[in-house]
Amino acid sequence: MFANAVGVAELASAAGDHGARRTSSRRIAERIRAAALAHLWDDDTHFFYPQRAGDDVRAPIRELHGFFPFTTRLAPDEPRYTAALAALVDPDEFWARYPPVITSQKHYRTWTWEMDGLTRNIAPHPISMGARTLLQAIKHYHTSRDHAGSTSWS
């Protein structure tokens, strides 16, 4: 929804509409950004988590979807948020041999249900979105090596 609102604002601007449609779409995008940052972002773990709409309970598992705010550039280019990108290239989290995983390996290993020999930690669409996220992160986000030695993107 954020990307759609930004796209409508950009389209309105390109079509010469610098008035109400562009302004309204930008306001919608900013409201969506503010809501996502307030409800989906976790400052303690530096990650975006899914949450149920009915009761706002956050799912305590890292999924590839947690990087999608970077794909759409919803996440601000600030160290507070870009810290999440380190998990994308962490072998204990998402970085794996092909095919890439869609759930943090650290979280995935703690699940206890029977998996009948299948890993079930891969899916084509999220994997392609993960690749798109990686491209957007390299192109639009800046991070630097922190004191713990995490990966530098810049």
Residues 73 and 120 in one domain: yes
How high is the pLDDT of residue 113? 53
Is there a contact between 77 and 140 (Cβ–Cβ < 8 Å)?
yes
What residue type is assigned to position 136 of the chain?
Q
Domain residues for the domain of 12 are: 1-39
Residues 20 and 56 in one domain: no
- Got the DSSP string for 97-124? SSSPPSB-HHHHTT--S--TT------H
Closest residue by Cα to residue 125 from 50, 63, 74: 63
Each residue's pLDDT tens digit in the chain (154 positions)? 999 999 999 999 999 988 888 999 999 999 999 999 999 999 999 999 988 888 888 887 888 889 999 999 999 999 999 999 999 888 888 887 766 678 888 877 776 555 544 455 666 776 777 778 888 888 999 876 443 444 444 3
Residues 61 and 16 in one domain: no
How high is the pLDDT of residue 144? 62
* Alpha-helix runs per DSSP H in 15-144: 20-39, 68-71, 79-82, 85-88, 105-108, 124-140
How high is the pLDDT of residue 88? 87
How high is the pLDDT of residue 23? 93
Residues 2 and 76 in one domain: no
Residues 90 and 132 in one domain: yes
pTM for the predicted model, two decimal places: 0.78
Residues 88 and 23 in one domain: no
How high is the pLDDT of residue 142? 85
Residues 88 and 121 in one domain: yes
How high is the pLDDT of residue 50? 87
How high is the pLDDT of residue 18? 83
